[in-house]
Amino acid sequence: MRTERAPAKINLTLRVLGRRMDGFHELESLVAFAGVCDLVSLDPDRPFGLDTEGPTAASAGPDSDNLIIRAARALEKRVPGLKLGRFSLKKKLPVGAGIGGGSSDAAAALRLLAQLNTLPLDDHRLYEAAAETGSDIPVCLTPTARMFRGRGENVGPGIELRPLAAVLVNPGVHISTPDVFRGLGLNPGMPGPSSGPGVEKFHGDINTLAGLFAQDANDLEPIAERLAPVVTDTLNALRAAPAVRFVRMSGSGATVFALFDDCRAASRAARNIGAAHPAWWVKPTLLR
């Protein structure tokens, strides 16, 4: 049995540069990965399939349509004689929450198949299978801070981002990603709300980093707030936390994150917010 972590993906920045003629939106995003994660295991001695358990498993949809299965099938098309097995997913991250949980699960499954079949992680077939299965999966193949561009197909090199103390909060609502992008009102060929060069420097203390991140918004945040006003409540709850340095929504929502000076301040904020909002998913973590 082999096991891989599938960490939450956090969009520190998310710029929409325009809508392409193929209908996809042209994005630019700096992502980091959290300590909180799902767990994906592979038993090569059992028939191909997927078993799902965990606190958020019921929201993950049918196993037959899970991104893990779809990614494995996409790789099988490209690698003759690919050895498969039975996947097990322990689902702990909220589903449809703007933190790439399903994409990270699929990427972890591809890493497990690479180990089983002695494929290097830079094998182009892994990347192709990831891109075919979902736009967010290529950047999750090697979960470390990096930029991605396009619809997700242009993945930059890893970035040495110092670990950032953070709190992740999801208020328990699902926001449709297509609805958020439709809210931009962009037709193919139209420019988006962001333009010009994005964040390219990542060194310094937390105040410097927060200032750099603030230069590039999450262009989807205002639309998500309009569709689900509880996102505004979540942002405000984190903005009110002592010693908070930076607050933003991740992806298309509804998860919001905040950065702090250190883990102690992040843990204190998480305890306070969790006590005030017991129905919310609240996790202190490190982003890397």
Active site residues: 9, 136
**Residue that the structure tokens 């992502």 belong to:** 31
Fold classified for 2-155: Ribosomal Protein S5; domain 2 (3.30.230)
Report pLDDT for 53: 96
Domains 2-155 and 164-287 share a fold: no
Residue pLDDT, tens place only, 159-196: 888 899 999 999 999 999 999 999 999 999 999 998 65
Report pLDDT for 196: 58
pTM for this predicted structure: 0.95
What is the CATH number that goes with domain 164-287? 3.30.70.890
Residue pLDDT, tens place only, 246-277: 999 999 999 999 999 999 999 999 999 999 99
Residue from 35, 33, 37, 30 nearest 15 by CA: 30
Domain boundaries, the chain: 2-155, 164-287
Tell me if 92 sits within 8 A of 58, measured CB to CB: no
User: How far apart, in whole angstroms, are the C-alpha atoms of residue 199 and residue 195?
Assistant: 12
